[in-house]
Amino acid sequence: MKKGAVFMGMGFELVGLILGGLYVGSQIDKEMKWPGYAVAAAMVIALIGWFIHLIFMMKKFMAELPDDKETYDKEDIDNK
């Protein structure tokens, strides 16, 4: 349950980053009178940051997984 909540939270983070990048980029575009370059740049920066965060979270969860050798006893393998 805890891992599911963490990944659901990461989905909300992504939505927040997209909306934040859209808002910040549009404000910069209005100020600089650009046709949308800042929105695109803000979205790319936000997504790169989120992917880096995703990689670190996946490494953390992979480290918490038990090794395959430890999860199966010899008896379990022999019974199959």
pLDDT surpasses 90 at 79: no
Average pLDDT over residues 62-75: 65
Angle at 14 between CA 21 and CA 38, to 5 degrees: 15
Higher-confidence residue: 1 or 43?
43
pLDDT on residue 6? 81
pLDDT on residue 60? 85
Characterize 6-44 residue by residue with b for buried, 16 or more Cβ atoms within 10 angstroms of its Cβ, and e for exposed. Answer: eeeeeeeebeebeeebeebbeeebeeeeeeeebbebbbe
What's this model's pTM, rounded to 2 decimal places? 0.71
Nearest residue to 63 via CA among 5, 3, 21: 3
Tens-digit pLDDT profile for residues 11-68:
899 999 999 999 999 999 999 999 999 999 999 999 999 999 999 988 988 887 776 6
3-class state of residue 5 by DSSP: helix
